[in-house]
Chains A and B, each alone.
Chain A
Amino acid sequence: MGRIVIRRLAQVLPLLLGVIVLNFTLIQFAPGTLLDIMSADQQVSDPVLIERMRVLYGMDQPAIVQLGKYIWSVLTLDFGFSYRQNAPVLDVIMTHLPATILLMVASISVALVVGVTAGVVASVKVNTIWDNLISLGAVFFFAAPTFWLGIMLTILFSVKLGWLPVGGMRTVGTEPSLVGDVLDVARHLVLPALSLGLFYAAMYARIMRASMLEVFSLDFVRTARSKGLSGSTIVVRHVLRNALLPVVTLLGLQLGTVVGGSVVVEAVFSWPGIGSLMLDSVMSRNYPMVLGVLVLSSLVVAVSNVAVDLAYFKLDPRIRAR
């Protein structure tokens, strides 16, 4: 087990290197250089000062040397300095990362719980009104853009009904206890997690239904029935466990899109995660920050992929044999 974890983590490194090279190449295509933006932003016009900044940021050297330097500094966890926030890029990202990871975990939980439950219900009650309703819901949520769903949920639950806050992560101006704080964040989390999670829930419901129906027709289920196990035991202990595998595979493939989707949802709900940070940096052409977010969010995806692989490994003993 430990060897496999290390081997999978070792595969993350070249991937990360690829991300860095790719994005560095992209930045080279940018029409204005970082210096142009900085000098425009801070109204520096003294050519001597600009020249000093050019040397300071290493821009007087050829691109390949800059790339080598950038890779080296990323490997030593130095992502550069953000002149906008006046703090090291890594520090800024790290203060925003927990909010995004919280949103990610909450959305994936919504997706798994809602999706798997809906899929199981649809497959157990196949071709009934329940099945049709669930299929209809899945088609609906699979097609609705997450940001639009978020806005519609806000209109219903925040504006019309007033049950939940419109946006942000905490109520401003209160100094609650620890329990109060957790509840406050949870209240703010409901709508963003639903908007992002329901899209994936729709997908998982469809996959889960198909894979449950397939497993129901296998021989070992008939064996379980013939030895007199109750219907619910068969569903939960025999069919569900086997039918989960395709969902886990899909989850692993989609982690990248979940992080991407969180950017949009964070923009809708002004959730203070790396998505909002990314959008702000893109708008202000804060390239060191953009690169930093790209590299670190890719790292988050790659590492979560390893975690999903390990979950797969736990679920399916057949893979362990290989």
Chain B
Amino acid sequence: MVFSFLRRFARNRAALVGLLLILIVIAAAIAAPFLFPRNPLRIVGRPEIWPFLTWRHPLGTDSLGRDIAAIIAHGARTTFMIGLLASLTATLIGVTVGALAAYVGGWVDEVLMRIAELFQTIPNIIFILTIVSILGQTILNITIAVGIVTWTPIARLTRAEFLSLREREFVQACRAIGTTDLKIIVREILPNALPPVVILSSLVVASAILFESAVSFLGLGDPNVASWGGLIGDGRTLIRTSWYICAVPGVAIMLTVLALNLVGDGLNDALNPRLKT
């Protein structure tokens, strides 16, 4: 089954391109400390050197004379770490809430879904900015804040999956032999509900990356960490002379998000071959 899944995925050319792009970004993130061992936020040369002019700074330097290539490579680490951890946070909250709502039902379901609706109503970036400004501008707080605003779709999907699985025969059989509720949820229903949820989580990584870059762009990111959004924010004042400072990190964000979306779509199509149009 896993094998045929992989084969269906591999037949999707766009998804393979996406996968390749993601691997390149991951490779850049892993290689960053070896390629650029010094602090990427350190000043290395003349400010505003255009890309592709010197070998020393292949992507040029920014308004302060920092190496853009180094910031991009180290920024890939930040981006991926926040994206993955925020998605993990969102998945943990979402799966817990969705599973409880569907399995327990009744007023618990009602209350939990109201709470989900509440989180969907508060404009997400405004909420993230509030959390970050109150708790402080650190990577951890940004990660938590992004996780807190992105869990609702995961909760809804988990709930829907659990509702359709809850009354199946194998669950009833477990009940009949006296399996505890916790065991039924964790060991019986969850593994069956998980594949679509995991795919949604991979799409949440993409939106988490977009949120993180927006927060850094607005100047509320962690000031001690190289970040793609932060570089765009720094370069904004120079768009008349050196617009490449904004363009380069933006392309990096766009390609990463695009790749994640393509892979997510590919996984989705491979999982539900009938739904493909």
A148 near B261: Cβ-Cβ < 8 Å: no
B109-163 interface (Cβ within 8 A of A): 114-115, 117-118, 120-127, 129-131, 133-136
Which one of A148, A154, A297 lies within 8 Å of B123 (CB-CB)? A297
Q: Does B9 count as interface, using CB distance less than 8 angstroms? A: no
Whether the Cβ atoms of A155 and B217 lie closer than 8 Å is: no
* CB proximity of B183 to chain A, nearest CB, Å: 33
- Chain A residue numbers with a CB within 8 Å of B262 are 139
Within 8 A of A (CB), among B154-212: 206, 210
* Complex contact B122–A19 (CB within 8 A): yes
CB distance from B131 to the nearest CB of A (A): 7
| Contact status A294-B122, CB under 8 Å | yes
Which one, A20-28, A174-182, A232-240, is touching chain B? A20-28
CA distance A82 to B277 in the complex (A): 54
B30 at the interface (CB under 8 A from A): no
Q: Which of A1-40 contact B (CB under 8 A)?
A: 14-15, 18-19, 22-23, 26-27, 29-31
State whether the Cβ of B253 lies closer than 8 Å to any Cβ in chain A.
Answer: yes
Q: Is the CB of B122 within 8 A of A256?
A: yes
Chain A contact patch, size range: 35 or more
Given known contacts A294-B126, A297-B122, what 9 new A-B pairs fall within 8 Å (CB)? A14-B114, A18-B115, A29-B135, A148-B246, A159-B239, A264-B217, A267-B218, A283-B219, A290-B130
**Residues on A facing B (Cβ under 8 Å):** 14-15, 18-19, 22-23, 26-27, 29-31, 139-140, 142-148, 151-152, 154-155, 159, 210, 213-214, 253, 256-257, 259-261, 263-264, 267-268, 275, 278-279, 282-283, 285, 290, 293-294, 297-298, 301-302, 305
Give the top 6 A-B pairs by smallest Cβ distance, nearest first: A260-B125, A148-B250, A143-B258, A260-B123, A259-B123, A143-B257
24 A-B pairs within 8 Å (CB atoms) are namely A15-B118, A30-B134, A139-B258, A142-B261, A144-B250, A145-B253, A145-B257, A146-B214, A147-B232, A148-B213, A148-B254, A151-B232, A151-B236, A152-B246, A152-B247, A257-B124, A260-B125, A263-B123, A264-B218, A267-B217, A282-B130, A290-B133, A297-B126, A298-B123
